[in-house]
Structure 1
Amino acid sequence: MLTDENEEDVALFDAEEDAGQRLSKKTNIKHPVACFFHLFFRISAILVYLLCERISNSSIGGMVAIILLLSCDFWTVKNISGRLMVALRWWNQVDEDGQSHWVFESRKGPRKKPSSDSEARIFWLGLIVCPLVWVVFSFSTLFQFNIKWLPVVLMGLVLQGANLYGYVRCKVGGKTDFKNMATNYFGRQFLKQTLSKAEES
């Protein structure tokens, strides 16, 4: 069940962090370490995948390295870089009844935009491009019948796709259902086409 239970402002940052951000308004990138690690783990996993069999005969070491990099990337993007770079976060919580709830939050109010546009571009570019690369890798492993790498590629696709899905839900709004969004969009397009054809005749 998908809910967004907190309607008021979310305390994503503490007071000292906000004060530091006000002092560093002149710089384009306010969180360089978060930007670096946002891209480092995911690009490193892709590079290790591409170079593993060319550098070493043992694929086990490469697989372990890729899985560790993907796990570090998932944790870093979900818990740190999304919060710092675009003021979004998502998680799963279990209530007293044992029901699992997904929570998608974005910072609201006057302090809504603690990050710069450069950071937001870096965040979304890394978040979107890398899962697409893993999609290409999954098709290449299937078509080349290189099945031994398929679990690693699927893990990359699932972990990075989960972060992409979570942050898109945060950006669009936790209560928004993608099916309703698509239905509304196509309904509007159909209405526009119908009205334009009615005006022509």
Structure 2
Amino acid sequence: MLMLDSNDDEVSLFDAEEDSARNSRKSKIKHPIASFFHLFFRVSATLIYLLCERLSNSFIASMVTIILLLSCDFWTVKNITGRLMVGLRWWNQVDDDGNSHWVFESRKGSVKQLPSSLPSDSEERIFWLGLIICPVLWIIFTFTALLSFNIKWLAVVIMGVVLQGANLYGYVRCKVGTRTNLKNMATSYLGKRFFKQAVSKQEGS
């Protein structure tokens, strides 16, 4: 009588589900519209700031356009693209006692989830690159405005830092967790760096 090992069957089925989920994550972009608008508003605001003197002689028109684009970007990234592209979201809620609380949520990936519900690697790269690079550019613009005494643009670049920096901070908190986890992660990273340097010095000597 032929007997089947149930444990082997379970392992093979589990591996098959993992392979299916992994292949799905490497597939093409699942939310092309969300991916487009995740970059569109912030890149447009950056380009208009860099080219505003060539595009228009009106400072007011350029300023209003940049602020509108930054505001649209903040709302879109906070409410739509983060949830669709990486399964993260953050918001503020007020309880019955009138106390304000910040909530940072992360949708944990699992092989039990449908492959279509998992964010793809391409979308994650687009999301995090756009989320990190653009605030860094606005910080550079802020220092440039200060050093060149270009005071009229200072309010605009500071708004760019605040709005895009808020989304960056919120999604990093969603991804990593609490401040304690952030501190532990930084400590672990620095510890690894010091350990590698110590090992390399010993090998060199």
Provide TM-score, normalisation by structure 2.
0.76
1:64 and 2:64 equivalent?
Answer: yes
1:58 offset after TM fit, Å? 1.0
Aligned to 1:134: 138
Question: Could you tell me which of 125, 129, 133 is aligned with 1:121?
Answer: 125
Which moved further from structure 2: 77-86 or 170-179? 170-179
Change beyond 3 A, Cα 1:192–1:71: same
Aligned to 1:41: 41
Aligned to 1:30: 30
Structure of higher CA gyration radius: 2
Letter of the 1:100 counterpart = S
The structure showing larger relative contact order (alpha-carbon pairs under 8 Å, at least 6 residues apart) is 1
Percent identical pairs in the alignment equals: 71
Aligned to 1:172: 176
Letter of the 2:140 counterpart = V
Question: For the residues of structure 1 that align with 2:191 and 2:27, how far apart are their CA atoms?
Answer: 43
Aligned to 1:111: 113
Letter of the 1:70 counterpart = L
The gaps in structure 1 that reach 5 residues or longer are: 1-21
> What's the Cα RMSD here?
2.7
Give the number of equivalent residue pairs: 178
The gaps in structure 2 that reach 5 residues or longer are: 1-20
Letter of the 1:149 counterpart = W
Letter of the 1:32 counterpart = P
After the TM superposition, which residues 63-102 of structure 1 pair with which residues of structure 2 at under 5 Å, given as runs?
63-102=63-102
DSSP 3-state at the match of 2:93 = strand
1:197 offset after TM fit, Å? 9.5
Q: Which has the higher helix share?
A: 2
Aligned to 1:155: 159
CA contact (8 A) 2:176 2:182 kept: no
CA contact (8 A) 2:38 2:130 kept: yes
Question: For the residues of structure 1 that align with 2:124 and 2:197, how far apart are their CA atoms?
Answer: 35
Question: For the residues of structure 2 that align with 1:43 and 1:193, how far apart are their CA atoms?
Answer: 39
Letter of the 2:64 counterpart = V
Question: For the residues of structure 1 that align with 2:148 and 2:198, how far apart are their CA atoms?
Answer: 47
Question: For the residues of structure 1 that align with 2:124 and 2:188, how far apart are their CA atoms?
Answer: 27
